[in-house]
Structures are given as structure tokens and as C-alpha cells.
Structure 1
């Protein structure tokens, strides 16, 4: 905790050393935001999350996509004493990078998919703050082109609260890039892929949507393949189709972990899984 407080103090001192204009444009420095890679998803973290997708105020993350053609800019949600209201977006968030780390994948995909809303979801506080600061800086640097308005990052524990953020069949893509392998058998329950979690991914993915996975740990790769293939809502995407997918190409090269594996001469294991249509009820 002392180390975290010290880093926060140093980044505040760094920001104060910049002019107001520089503060808007300067990219955050990773050395002030680094945090241990592992976080226990079963611990009680201090998190803010919506009671349901209807009460999630996405507009604060994507102000450029707030709907302007409605009778009212606001749509009432569940009644509360503070009369909470949520502004509607002109389109729904479609892509989620779960455990987004420092956001390399998000920043690479955002200009390639300018009309698609992407969100990074990260459990670590400092890492989330880094991505949010970088989004603000990238938007300021690209005002004339309007880039990076379609990307956002929020702190969340998706193992517990994924359906609180997304409605049924809302997403078209989910990325699971270099997740914590949790090597010890007793820790496998904390892996981001499991029979139970795959059902939640199936719930928030639309039919035809894709889950993208990549890791440098072969045992984890085999685990993810085994669990997705065994799930009735998914089928594995063929290698030929997989290799033609631009998102796979970006996923291999743009994440911080991916670059680290590249530098160390490691191997990257990729597998993608398509959400199947639900069977017809008799």
C-alpha cells in the first residue's frame, strides 16, 4: 500500500510540473501506474457497479455518442432518492476486453473500428487509471479527427458482475488476452474461463459473436479450448477463418504481454470461439 501511495504522489507531482495544455496532451507514464499482475477475483474489492445494465451510465464514458435525437436526453432508471437518471447512447457497447491491462489492444482497435464502442474492464486500480488517463490524452491529441471517442475503460470484477453491465446478446466480441494462468490446481477456480463463466459469456454475446483468447501458457490454452468446446453455446472457429480476422492479428501484436512474449522469443497460443444460435424450444 505504501508503494501505491508513493506512485500516486509521484504522478501527481509529475502532472503539476506540466502546464494545463501539457496535462491535456501528455500521455501517462507507466512507471507511475505499475501494479502487481495478480489480483484475487474472490476478494472483496471496493467497486462501483450498476444494479442492472439499464442503470449503467455509459454516456460519461462515451460523450461523443450520446443520443441527440430523442424527446428527452435522459431516461429514468430505477427510482432512487437522488433521482438518478441515465443518458442514452446512440449505440450500444459491442466489444469488451476483459482484463485489458494497459489497453494496448483497445488503442489499436479503436481507430480501426471508429463506429464501434469498445470497453476495457480491469480489476487493478492503478492500471485502470492509466488507461483512462491515456484515453483522455489520445482524445485531446486527435480532436480534429475525432479518434478514440469510441474507447473507454472501467474498473470491474467481471467474474462477479459481468451481467450487471451488459444485456443479453449485447456484445459482438469478447477478448481474453493473456489472462492469469493460476498455475496451481487449487487456483484453477480463479481462471477467467470455466463452465460457469462461459455461460455468462454466452449470455452477453449475440449469436455469431466471437470470444478471442490468447496466452503464452500452453496448459492454459488447452484448458480454455477444452472448456469452450465442451460448452453447448460455443464452437471453435477454424484456423483459416481465424487467421484472416484482423482482430486476431492485432491481438497477437498490440498487447503489452504480447510484446513481452515477442521480445522473449515465446510462443503465443490463439483460439477463437463462436457463439451459436440458441436451440429452438420444443
Structure 2
């Protein structure tokens, strides 16, 4: 008699627990992180997010960058009355801001490829699916342990988040220099187009979190979706398309083409990859 669904779930949980033991540097195997290919961004996923970027605690994602702040030597403030609610704990400060975001990072192929090539920048993957996020967390942990002497992958982190709803909760205005949107869900049916990660409204949010001169990188193997993304970014007043010559000279483009799991799958099936980059323009003078 074959294993039941409950048995398989328990096996996956036991595997993940063993992998997360102290000092275990084995890379995770995808078969123990089963998850549906897509998640509805309009569903309630019981996500945790900060009410404001300044209240986000990044210390667990980037522990090597935590600032060791000395104890405040000033006279302590008088004790608050017992009926007064206590203030929330101040998040630990890190020495750098996250500067690069991979929206819908999947199994983290782009993240771990970009990490060593951008050692001076903090890179964050955002993924809505729970098990996939866990896989990337375990992958980053293993890579950090395997590269302790070189101190690689300390600048890479992953966060479970719904960017269609909460992107400005994590990033301040003009904080990011690069945003990657790689092989997003095409949502082929017209009634599903509102779930596409590129739209007039969402492009305004990308414009908000990107600094002037920052770049949005897009890639897909679906021609219709490529045309959709180009059309919506070119129509937005805060973006201009990067020329093909400049695009092909950008080293991030080749990494984006070859290192994502979806990109490798398209390569195996001899498919075509459509790339377009868009630069954040300076805001016009009031």
C-alpha cells in the first residue's frame, strides 16, 4: 500500500526540520517543497508586513549587516502609566538599505546568481508561495554555510510577501536601484489580466520605490505578455524603454536570461526569451 497524503506531508516536514538543524549545509531538494505553480494575489494569505518601511526589521534576513548600537547612556525616560499602551519595539538597524528586488523570485535562481556579482548591495527576493519561500530560505542558509570563508550570499535574503498589495510597506520612496520581474504568471484569460504583475497601477508603485535612473528588468517566454509589459511601461510617464544596445551591454541581462529556473526550462524546450528594460525618469518639476 502506497504512502498516504498525510505520510508524504510528514516526510516533507521531517526533511525540512532536519535541514534546518544547526550546521547542516546540504542544499535543499525541491521535491520536499511541493507547491502549486501559482497563487491568487487577491486571496488573504495571512501575510505579515510592516505598516511603514521604517518599522521593518531586516536583521533576521541580513544578520551580517546589523549595526551594533551601544546602549543609550542618557537618563531613562520616566515610567509610563500602567494604563498606557507600551510603544512597539524598535527594529534592529542594518548598515545598508535593500537596493535590489526580485519580484516573484521563485526558487531563487536569480538571487543566488546576483549575490556574488553585487557584493556591495543587499538583494531581496519576494515570493508569495509559502513552501517556495521556505525552499529559498534553506537554499540561502546552505550556501552561506558552504561559503563561510568567502562570506558569500550574506547580502541575499528572501521574504514571503504579496507585492501587488504591500510593496510600499517594505520600501521607501526611491530606495531601489533595480527591480526584476522574471517570467511572471501570464494569466492568459482576459478576465485574469487584472492579476498580471505589470499594470498601470502597479507601474506607479514601481516608480515610487525606484530612484531616478533605476531599472526595471522584464523577461518572459510569452510574446503576448511581453507586448503587454512593454505597452504598459512605455505608456507610463515615469518610465522610458532602455535601448537594445544598452540592454545587451548590461551584465544583469545575461544572468536573468540564464540563471532563473524558468529561463533554464525555456532553454531546454528551445523557446524564445523576450527581454525589455525600462528606466525610471526624473520627476518633472512642479
TM-score, structure 2 length as denominator?
Answer: 0.90
User: Match of 1:243?
Assistant: 248
User: Match of 1:111?
Assistant: 116
- CA displacement at 1:59 relative to structure 2: 1.3
Does residue 64 (structure 1) correspond to residue 59 (structure 2)? The answer is no
Does residue 233 (structure 1) correspond to residue 234 (structure 2)? The answer is no
Does residue 154 (structure 1) correspond to residue 159 (structure 2)? The answer is yes
- CA displacement at 1:216 relative to structure 2: 0.3
Alignment of 1:217-228 (within 5 A): 217-228=222-233
Does residue 168 (structure 1) correspond to residue 178 (structure 2)? The answer is no
SS at match of 1:58: coil
Q: C-alpha separation between the residues in 2 aligned to 1:17 and 1:58?
A: 25
- CA displacement at 1:36 relative to structure 2: 1.2
Contact 1:109 1:250 in 2 (8 A): yes
Number of residue equivalences: 272
SS at match of 2:187: coil
- CA displacement at 1:34 relative to structure 2: 2.7
Q: C-alpha separation between the residues in 2 aligned to 1:18 and 1:99?
A: 24
- CA displacement at 1:8 relative to structure 2: 4.6
User: Match of 1:274?
Assistant: 279
User: Match of 1:192?
Assistant: 197
Contact 2:19 2:28 in 1 (8 A): no
Deviation >4 Å, runs of 4+: 5-8, 15-21, 69-72
| Deviation per residue, 1:48-75 (Å, 9 max, x gap) | 0011101000111101011246776xxx
TM-score, structure 1 length as denominator?
Answer: 0.91
Cα 1:30–1:51 change in 2 (3 A) is same
User: Match of 1:30?
Assistant: 30
SS at match of 2:24: helix
Q: C-alpha separation between the residues in 2 aligned to 1:45 and 1:229?
A: 32
Contact 1:235 1:273 in 2 (8 A): yes
Contact 1:7 1:33 in 2 (8 A): no
Contact 1:7 1:32 in 2 (8 A): no
Does residue 133 (structure 1) correspond to residue 134 (structure 2)? The answer is no
Structure 2 unmatched ranges of 5 or more = 73-83
SS at match of 2:197: coil
Q: C-alpha separation between the residues in 2 aligned to 1:17 and 1:200?
A: 40
